[in-house]
Structure 1
Amino acid sequence: MRWLVRHRPTQGFFAGGLIGWLGGLIGLGGAEFRLPVLKGLFKLPTLEAIIFNKAMSLVVVSTALLARSASIPWHDLFAQWPIAVNLLFGSLIGAWFAAGYAMKMPAALLDRIVFILLLLLALVMIGEHVLHLHWIGGALVPDGPLRWVIGLIAGLVIGTVAAVLGVAGGELLIPTITILYGVDIKLAGSLSLAISLPTMLVGFARYTQSGSFAVLKRESHLFGGMTAGSLLGAVLGGLTIGFIAPSWLIILLAVVLLISAYKTFQHSQAGAK
């Protein structure tokens, strides 16, 4: 047991590095895959794993946003402020209330909700790849009140998912931005990060009211190791894009996510008995 405790930062570094590399390779932050690892390998309770994942996502997203500014100028990003405001209006509300409910939920119920959300995210990943959901045929809905309402609802859903899983929500934000608003996929990637950051900050601030927030102090060495590994892995993933075709990896990782979600659901079922 002492060996495991001493080596948790090292285990976190390699686990974070692998997830970061795969995420960088296929264009995801990897938070969806960190959550099952935090619960399965490091045995964190669900709420603690969510808070830990949220803190890591803040670091990864901030770094990614700064890194992408070299190819996506800030003025191009700021020019899309109406889209950001539309989605943020819903996502901030969704993140605040979802985090509040998550702190009050019984562990078994929270596990079931995590299972459902991970399942849906895996299906979205498969759908994006198979059905080419990153549509670039212009905005699906013309600018006006209807698009604002749809954007508000989409933001609520995305903010809720981000708060409950501790993720950035890029898998949902990017297709929403490209399909609903007709924004170029590369610009949509940076815009999704810009929207994710304040959304995650709101959820994170809400979680500070939970006793489970102490996990960040208790597992500070694990946090440092896993964060370092994730950032290094993300860089390596970006550098190896030209050597490994990521298309088949998306389906494979979605299947892995489905299996992880199922195991989480089994755990919740066992806890309910």
Structure 2
Amino acid sequence: MWHKYHRQLAFAIAIPIAILGGLMGLGGAEFRLPVLAGYLDYSARQAVPLNLAISLVTIVFSLFIRSKTLAFNSLIPNQPILLSLIVGAGISAWLGATWARKLSNEQLEKIILVFLVSIGLALIVEAFLPEALPAIVPDVLFLQIIFGIICGLAIGLVSSVLGVAGGELIIPTLIFGFGLDIKTAGTGSLIVSLPTVIVGIVRYIQKQAYSDRVIFKNTVIPMSLGSMIGAILGGMLVGIISARLLKLILGLILIISAFKVFNSLSFSEHRRD
């Protein structure tokens, strides 16, 4: 339901989400989606492209802020891996956005529920994993490219269907799949996420998902500004709270909120479409 404080609410909610995401090294878009649907009264079909647009702003902002500290040199030997991820993610992001617009709101809610619960479980599992493990993929270029494309297909699908940057999938893939260190993986995640999100947005634009400029002004802009502020605060607070503990707690919260918001089909009947 629209009310006169919608813009302020969107701005205020985005800040703590971005702070928590920044503490974990993620954008927090997976937590923003239930907020868009549960508190800002959007249908799933509206919330996903809006979330993707906000994710693009946060990615560009993160690249700008971290441009002086990002480990770009360490990415040079891993260019084939990153390119294979981008190719796979770009293909599925395009197809995923097309597919998502063909689904009914109820069907999309079910799929979002499965994806969010899966991400929540992944965060919980990752909280118990060691920081470094031997790479799953052998150091053979052909195998790395094939594995990268396959993983990219999954990442792009999740990105376009949930409206997220995909860092919660890209970073573990680079660390555990290819043996990259956490700093390089964080940088690589932004590099892979940027074109993936752009592809999804372009497809949603073609599907007229951003035709309502009022919604864009009342939600995307204030949430993007809140996300920028939260990202800065989250970066300043890194190390104060254990990232492992945060992933465990927020994984549980994500699962609970996903069920609360997207498990009831009747919920969508009372939302704006």
Kindly provide the CA deviation profile for residues 136-164 of structure 1, in whole angstroms up to 9, marking residues without a partner as x: 43563222322322211111000100010
Q: CA RMSD in A?
A: 1.9
Kindly provide the CA deviation profile for residues 212-264 of structure 1, in whole angstroms up to 9, marking residues without a partner as x: 32245434132222111111011111111233333322211111110121123
Q: Which residue matches 1:97? A: 95
Q: Which residue matches 1:117? A: 115
Partner AA of 2:139 in structure 1: P
Residues 216 and 248 (structure 1), Cα distance of their counterparts in 2 relative to 1, 3 Å cut: farther
Q: Which residue matches 2:5? A: 7
2:126/2:247 contact within 8 Å kept: no
Report the Cα distance in structure 2 between the residues aligned to 1:194 and 1:92, rounded to whole angstroms: 12
Query: Is 1:206 the equivalent of 2:203?
Result: yes
Report the Cα distance in structure 1 between the residues aligned to 2:32 and 2:59, rounded to whole angstroms: 14
Report the Cα distance in structure 1 between the residues aligned to 2:137 and 2:245, rounded to whole angstroms: 28
Residues 22 and 177 (structure 1), Cα distance of their counterparts in 2 relative to 1, 3 Å cut: same
Query: Is 1:51 the equivalent of 2:43?
Result: no
Report the Cα distance in structure 1 between the residues aligned to 2:251 and 2:129, rounded to whole angstroms: 15
1:139/1:183 contact within 8 Å kept: no
Q: TM-score, normalised by structure 1?
A: 0.92
Kindly provide the CA deviation profile for residues 159-181 of structure 1, in whole angstroms up to 9, marking residues without a partner as x: 10001000011111111111222
Of 217, 237, 246, the match for 1:249 = 246
Equivalent positions of 1:60-209 (< 5 A) are 60-132=58-130, 134-138=131-135, 140-209=137-206
Report the Cα distance in structure 2 between the residues aligned to 1:174 and 1:248, rounded to whole angstroms: 18
Residues 267 and 29 (structure 1), Cα distance of their counterparts in 2 relative to 1, 3 Å cut: same
Q: Which residue matches 1:240? A: 237
2:132/2:181 contact within 8 Å kept: no
Task: Give the 3-state SS of the residue equivalent to 2:255 in structure 1.
Answer: helix
Kindly provide the CA deviation profile for residues 158-211 of structure 1, in whole angstroms up to 9, marking residues without a partner as x: 010001000011111111111222211101101111001001100110001223
2:89/2:196 contact within 8 Å kept: yes
1:20/1:231 contact within 8 Å kept: yes
Of 26, 32, 36, the match for 1:38 = 36
Partner AA of 1:246 in structure 2: A
Which runs of 5 or more residues in structure 2 are unaligned?
none
Kindly provide the CA deviation profile for residues 72-101 of structure 1, in whole angstroms up to 9, marking residues without a partner as x: 243433443211111111111110101100
Report the Cα distance in structure 2 between the residues aligned to 1:225 and 1:92, rounded to whole angstroms: 28
2:14/2:223 contact within 8 Å kept: yes
Report the Cα distance in structure 1 between the residues aligned to 2:64 and 2:103, rounded to whole angstroms: 36
Report the Cα distance in structure 1 between the residues aligned to 2:38 and 2:72, rounded to whole angstroms: 39
Task: Give the 3-state SS of the residue equivalent to 1:211 in structure 2.
Answer: coil
Task: Give the 3-state SS of the residue equivalent to 1:213 in structure 2.
Answer: coil
Query: Is 1:226 the equivalent of 2:220?
Result: no
Partner AA of 1:211 in structure 2: Q
Greater Cα shift, 20-29 or 93-102: 20-29
Report the Cα distance in structure 1 between the residues aligned to 2:72 and 2:230, rounded to whole angstroms: 25
Equivalent residues, number: 269
Q: Which residue matches 1:264? A: 261
2:86/2:152 contact within 8 Å kept: yes
Partner AA of 2:93 in structure 1: A
Report the Cα distance in structure 1 between the residues aligned to 2:212 and 2:110, rounded to whole angstroms: 22
Greater Cα shift, 21-30 or 154-163: 21-30
Query: Identity, % of aligned pairs?
Result: 38
